[in-house]
Structure 1
Amino acid sequence: MGSLPVDTLRPLDPDTFAADSAAIVDFLAGYYRDVDKYPVRAADLEPGRLRKLLPEAAPEWGEPMERILDDVRRDVLPGLTHWQSPSFFAYFPMNASAAGFAGEMLSVGLNVVPFVWVASPAAAELEGVVVDWMASLVGLPERFLFSGGGGGVLQGSTCEAVVCTLAAARDRALGRIGHEGIMKLVVYASDQTHATFQKGARLVGIPPANFRVIRTTAASGYALAAGAVSAAVEDDVAHGLVPLYLCATMGTTGLGAVDPVRELGEVARRHGMWLHVDAAYAGSAAICPEYQGYLDGAELADSVSMNPHKWFLTNMDCCCLWVASPAALNAALSTDPEYLKNVVVAGAGGKPQAAAIDYKDWQISLSRRFRAMKLWFVLRRYGAGGMRAYIRRHVAMAEWFERAVNADERFEVVAPRRFSLVCFRLRQPPRPSSEQSDDDDVNRELLAAVNASGQAFMTHFVVDGKFVIRLAVGGAMTEMRHVRDVWELVQRTAEQLLQRQ
């Protein structure tokens, strides 16, 4: 098909839709077939590369799909970091799957906007079903299910979930002390907590000076100690401040640390704080019974979040947020203009039905995507048993890598492995003090050289002043051979660096 003059443009012509969609599916199938042939990280990191390749203005007339895909292949793919590469070990995994893609296609193709019940009742109801399914799978208490008085919603990201829960906690507290008391509210987290909580606190009006970053230590496995939180809270109360919100994390970004949810929950209860459990990455592992103990004490929490788009084969974007009190969330986020009110819903014969859910009151934006479709497809297509096997396979790969690091005296594991994340570094051999170079420098060089090779991609963290290399296993296409290959690459690269010193 050639150019499309405006007077013949039919954007949803079924035949054109089928042909263009088939071309995209074929393109992606070829991409996944060959993704391991691309350098994992974008080879050219110089800003402005793509702008130089593309025209300065949009085309006047439409172009054939084949020509557009040729440009994607030639100009776009070389500038991508390939997150679905089997040798991608950076950040945390961002999973994709055939089932997730199929659900996403249906979601995008149907293109409904379920912000209020009548806007698409089945979309809202399916969302309620899948968040209840997920809550049960990860072992959350009944109070987070709709049947237990709580409920869940699919947000786009943890960042959105954090802002929503902070707003709910803020309004609940200000209802007690008055709105003029906002400058007294204090949020607590550890030095391992994701920085999105600091960003979220600013967005809801908490003064940056009222965000407490509490130090963790190697002795606790870098977990947030309840005693340290209590001491910080009591000091703030003595100075007339009001404890507002406490974050506990299951699987911190840097090291995979796990905070003691029950102990922190008891502190939060004593001081009337909102307790949020951030399980963005490791919450997926909680579908396995052996990891559900990490959520012990969740009945003391006000909210819990986890991201199926990280390690649960659900294509971006999809974050489960559960709250024990939907009313508290809705009070902070709801709007009720006449044009958004539902028509009265009645059952057969005029009998009342279950309460309708207006998910616009559970999130920041009004418009929302039909995310439930792709999570439902993943759960239906692979099943709980299949997903448990998937998680355990990645953990087994990380266990192997940890053993390999420990067996090589040139390296050290910096923190105990949690889930499928291994944090390690290269030791410097003993040298005279006059010749001793910085351990951090050699580890920076090691990571840079591995990533520059294009054969793998990892990221870093800094803990106790040490530069640490992170290997996060979790790709949908990653197999044991890829983990062995990256370890051999690390060893070879380290040997070359040490020989030059």
Structure 2
Amino acid sequence: MDSQEFRKHGKEMIDFVADYWDTIRERQPLPDVQPGYIWNLMPNEAPKEKETWEAIFGDLNKVVVDANTHWHHPHFFAYYPTANSYPAILGDILSAGLAPIGFTWKSSPSCTELELVITDWFAKMIGLPSMFLNQDPGPGAGIIQCTASDSTLVALLAARARAVKLHSQGQSWMGKLWKSDIVNKSWQLIQKHSSISNGSQAAHDSAKMINPDSSLFPRLVAYCSDQAHSSVDKAALLAGVKMRKLQTSRGSNYSLKGETLAAAIKEDRAQGLIPFYVVATVGTTPTCAVDDVASLGKICQPEGIWLHVDAAYAGSAAVCPEYRYLTAGTELVDSFNFNAHKWLLVNFDCSPMWFRDATEAEAYFSVDPLYLKHEHQNTAADYRHLQIGLGRRFRSLKAWFVIRSMGISGLQTHIRSMCVLAQRFADLVAADSRFEIPAPVHLGLVCFRLKGENAASEKLLKLINEDRRIHLVPAKAHDIYFLRLAICSTKTTSDDILFAWKVICELTERVHEDII
């Protein structure tokens, strides 16, 4: 394909995508296919000779689109939203067209520099403390990771290395860690003036010396709420450390509190374990609960325990002043993350993450072979030191396009409209005596269930997803099974909420008939 063919077929693809969005209502949110469907549509081997673009293009619907789960369908209410918009798509086109691999500043100066600005924009939009800004003279920094799962793992690995280093130095974990001479001396050579900003060679040299002793790993213990995302469990599994899930209660809206954490730390220390990492969730997947970040931070910071905030879904809502409570207590945390690709109209993947002290994390992730060195590495940001992989996409482009195209006020309007739709659905549920709402309605999520045993709600969900007119997923909190309706699509309207409720009520009658 030459440039002229690319121009022609590229325009066709743009039309194809626009037509898909314009006609998405004509589809069902869930495709009617079974695993292995594709083997009846494609040959078993790759073609020996090239095929025409027309032949390839002709297969798009039957092979890809017709068998796709349509996350942006107005009747898709499962999981949480995955954002998208035309400006975001255009950003991805430019990113793919430029195709840089922005692991160092020199490998793509604009990829690095634009990300520095965009993460500062995001931080200011949601009300994070200035210590997280790239512009701030302190050691904080922002980066765009792939997902919240990556952010949780990166923070855990940095926390694990911190724990091993401090323990090897004989530091008391019950002391005032942040004020200790040992810690202050440990980080004298690792200041913000390293490769994350305007650096020194000493930071790189210090980073090379850090090699955590894995013999201590079996004694390390991390904490999270019993409502935390499965990616937190996975991070602990990959890092080879214990993860203790702390119990929440329905009475506290499933929020993890500082006193619960303090009791667990005391208990584990008595068993010879080393508490080192806490994940606070702001907007849990089952119920959109918000952990008490401020009270957790007051426990963690004096102890040197790394506190990471996973605000994957709910963090975006903090762009609205009325939801700014979602970032309360972040002055006490070590790292913070949310997914712009959930609510802020930036398509997957775009997951901003911030560090209180990026140089501390960088010290554990820095690997500096000769072929990656460059003449600006002591005065420029090299994001490879704050992530697991080396290569990285030009993710900030699509965020830049979206923020400029929508403005903060446009993004606020979008989020508020989705919250209004959720409340509209909640009002319908609350008015029906057959149903109950097991957790407070929060942001764009409504949890609901049929009164009585879990089996009735399980049956209802099965009927809904077999019916395929709408799509929902379930959750459980303390053995209470319920259905979740999340407002996901930018195309969902009040009429779509009424349609969803009509389908639910119709299928509820069948549930009751089966039970009787």
Q: Say whether the fold is shared (TM-score over 0.5).
A: yes
Measure the CA separation in 2 of the matches of 1:22 and 1:64. 16
Measure the CA separation in 2 of the matches of 1:496 and 1:199. 39
Instruction: Note the C-alpha offset of 1:34.
Output: 1.5
- The aligned residue for residue 27 of structure 1 is 16
Tell me which of 221, 234, 239 is aligned to 1:199.
234
Measure the CA separation in 2 of the matches of 1:320 and 1:169. 19
- The aligned residue for residue 465 of structure 1 is 479
Q: Secondary structure at the match of 1:118?
A: coil
Q: Secondary structure at the match of 2:82?
A: coil
Instruction: Note the C-alpha offset of 1:162.
Output: 1.1
Tell me which of 276, 283, 289 is aligned to 1:251.
283
Tell me which of 314, 317, 325 is aligned to 2:349.
317
- The aligned residue for residue 458 of structure 2 is 444
1:296-322 Cα distance to aligned partner (Å, 9 max, x none)? 110000000000111111111111111
- The aligned residue for residue 436 of structure 1 is none
- The aligned residue for residue 57 of structure 2 is 69
1:326-345 Cα distance to aligned partner (Å, 9 max, x none)? 11121121110011011248
Pairs within 5 Å for 1:46-195: 46-148=34-136, 149=138, 150-178=140-168, 179=213, 180-195=215-230
- The aligned residue for residue 407 of structure 1 is 431
How many residues end up aligned between the 2 structures? Answer: 468
Question: Which letter does structure 2 place at the counterpart of 1:159?
Answer: S
Tell me which of 488, 495, 500 is aligned to 2:502.
488
Instruction: Note the C-alpha offset of 1:103.
Output: 0.6
Structure 1: stretches of 5+ with no match in the other structure: 1-10, 346-353, 429-438
Question: Which letter does structure 1 place at the counterpart of 2:386?
Answer: W
More displaced, 226-235 or 129-138? 226-235
Instruction: Note the C-alpha offset of 1:272.
Output: 1.7
User: What RMSD, in angstroms, separates the aligned Cα atoms of the two structures?
Assistant: 1.3
1:226-274 Cα distance to aligned partner (Å, 9 max, x none)? 1111111011112221111011111000110011110011111232200
Between the two proteins, what is the percent identity of the paired residues?
Answer: 38
Tell me which of 490, 493, 501 is aligned to 1:476.
490
Measure the CA separation in 2 of the matches of 1:445 and 1:75. 31
Structure 2: stretches of 5+ with no match in the other structure: 169-212
Measure the CA separation in 2 of the matches of 1:372 and 1:287. 18
> Does the C-alpha gap of structure 1 residues 37 and 175 become closer, same or farther in structure 2, counting only changes over 3 Å?
same
Instruction: Note the C-alpha offset of 1:455.
Output: 1.3
Measure the CA separation in 2 of the matches of 1:382 and 1:257. 28
- Tell me if the contact between 1:260 and 1:294 (Cα under 8 Å) persists in the aligned partners: no
Measure the CA separation in 2 of the matches of 1:447 and 1:461. 11
Instruction: Note the C-alpha offset of 1:482.
Output: 1.1
Q: Secondary structure at the match of 1:147?
A: coil
Q: TM-score, normalised by structure 2?
A: 0.89
Q: TM-score, normalised by structure 1?
A: 0.91
Query: Which stretches of structure 1, 4 residues or longer, exceed 3 Å deviation after superposition?
Result: none
Instruction: Note the C-alpha offset of 1:78.
Output: 2.5
Measure the CA separation in 1 of the matches of 2:146 and 2:65. 25
Q: Secondary structure at the match of 2:59?
A: helix
- Tell me if the contact between 2:226 and 2:247 (Cα under 8 Å) persists in the aligned partners: yes
Measure the CA separation in 2 of the matches of 1:116 and 1:464. 46
- Tell me if the contact between 2:225 and 2:248 (Cα under 8 Å) persists in the aligned partners: yes
Question: Which letter does structure 1 place at the counterpart of 2:425?
Answer: F
More displaced, 331-340 or 475-484? 475-484
Measure the CA separation in 1 of the matches of 2:416 and 2:385. 37
Measure the CA separation in 1 of the matches of 2:62 and 2:283. 38
Measure the CA separation in 2 of the matches of 1:203 and 1:498. 45
The alignment status of 1:284 with 2:319, answered yes or no, reads no
- Tell me if the contact between 2:315 and 2:326 (Cα under 8 Å) persists in the aligned partners: no
Question: Which letter does structure 2 place at the counterpart of 1:254?
Answer: P
Tell me which of 449, 453, 472 is aligned to 2:467.
453
Tell me which of 383, 396, 399 is aligned to 1:359.
383
Question: Which letter does structure 2 place at the counterpart of 1:74?
Answer: K
